[in-house]
Amino acid sequence: MASTATPVWDGKIFSDGWTAGGDGTIDVIAPGSGRSLGTVGSASVADLDAAVTSAAAAQKAWAAAPYAARAAVMLKAAQLLEADTARLTDVIVAESGSGGGKAAFEAGLVISELQEAAAVAAHPYGELLRSVKDRTSIARRVPLGIVGVISPFNFPAILSMRSVAPALALGNAVILKPDPRTSIAGGMALAALFEEAGLPAGVLHVLPGGAELGAALVTHPQIPCISFTGSTAAGRKIAESAAPLLKRVHLELGGNNAMLVLEDADPAAAATVGAWGSFLHQGQICMTTGRHLVPRSLAEAYVAALAEKASHIPVGDPEQGAPLGPLIDERQRDRVHGIVEAARESGARIAAGGEYDGLFYRPTVITDLSPESSAWADEIFGPVAPVIVYDDLDEAIEMINASEYGLSVSIITANPYRGYELAGRIESGAIHINDATVDDEAVIPFGGVKASGVGGRFGGPAASLDTFTETQWITMQSEPEPYPF
């Protein structure tokens, strides 16, 4: 952390100010060095109930405030962060094991998200409808009330903020439960930012905690909307729990994203895109490139170029400047290595990597795989680039679409229009031609299809309105309607 002063969140939750949590504290450990970053409070179910009561009361005044007041808070928060990005980047690097470049990129996304949220607050929020009667007929968007947000560890700040900021800007209150491994970057640092920006008390509550708290948040009868980002397995459980309550559930889930290299591509240029897509933030991104499909004519050159890049990327403590840091914990490291070893034992070739030191896993390239291999079929969430050779383009597209996931796909080609034509045959929420699968902007409606997500999108005014408001129909006429009885 940049400062030696005790932070306001040390040992605390954020609920009507900084206060002790009812379930003790959570130790915050830097995965790169193992050093303590302090503690945050651990919220209890009773804390959640109190937060809901507070949020329900505060939300009414917040929603009734002029839109400019809500926009001003978003803009002030953006200005404060822009003036001192280290207040966020330092904790992202230390707490989540992010490289400095990735942390700076993430902070920039948070700033953009706040700015776009301010614009959403000012966006037209209704439309004049035609009616068969002589009357005025209006559809307008109104806040949902309280939005529950559950965010993950990998991009903790932006994957919290992309729900928190637009939900607040549109007049909702928010209860945020960040991943307990990244409660500072994913929650506490954001709460401190909003507090300094003048957000009224009670409108935002940040409650770190574990699975029991998350389950209580999902099933709380006074929280009508859940916005979750995380694994597909966890998303299915959330959907199952929320369904009997008829809640709005927005799920942004996993991906096993493909990069399709066409025969006319430059293999060296393609390998640069592939390395970025597979190894950025140690592959711990839902948009990570998890499958590389390469034509036989380019396979040898592509694998050699990708392996060369993998073998020369420095891996180490990001607080000491390494571009690639640790995996988030031992459980994730063991899962990644288990998949790599299973591929090796089944006859795959490890062209680079396949080794680790503590939580630091070397960028890994695997070839000679079968489509049935776990390294090909499953989301690995580690710095692993599986490569399969194809002879027929139709077969390659079938392999892409065979996955249960559909989040992001990359097409590398010398003819971008040909890539555009192929995009219509691919089942994916995003397709990037001559760019990596890892890509995001605050103005873009982001989300996946199939097992990669369901519900509303994140980003852009239309998506934010669809996701974080309800439609209300209003009619007006000058005289009471004369009915026959």
Q: Name the phi and psi angles at 134, rounded to 5.
A: -85, 85
What DSSP character marks residue 174? E
Q: Tokens 């009561």 appear where?
A: 53
Q: Tokens 């680079």 appear where?
A: 352
**Which candidate in 95, 116, 225, 286 is catalytic?**
286
| Enclosing H/E stretch for 402 | helix 393-402
CA angle 51, 56, 59 (to 5 degrees): 115
CA angle 452, 458, 462 (to 5 degrees): 125
Give yes or no for a contact between 292 and 387, defined as CB atoms under 8 angstroms apart: yes
| Enclosing H/E stretch for 141 | strand 136-143
User: Is 286 an annotated catalytic residue?
Assistant: yes
**Which candidate in 95, 252, 319, 379 is catalytic?**
252
259: number of Cβ within 10 Å: 27
Strands (E), 368-418: 384-390, 405-406, 408-412
Q: Where are the alpha helices (DSSP H) in 123-231?
A: 156-169, 189-197, 211-219
What DSSP character marks residue 186? I
Cα distance from N-terminal residue to C-terminal residue, the chain: 73
Q: Tokens 């929320």 appear where?
A: 242
483: number of Cβ within 10 Å: 5
Handedness of CA 267, 98, 150, 118 (dihedral sign): negative
Pairing of strands 360-361, 356-357: antiparallel
Give the rounded distance of the alpha carbon of 255 from its chain centre: 12
Nearest to 95 by CA among 139, 52, 155: 155
Nearest to 205 by CA among 49, 24, 70: 49
Give the rounded distance of the alpha carbon of 203 from its chain centre: 22
Give yes or no for a contact between 255 and 287, defined as CB atoms under 8 angstroms apart: yes
Catalytic residues: 252, 286
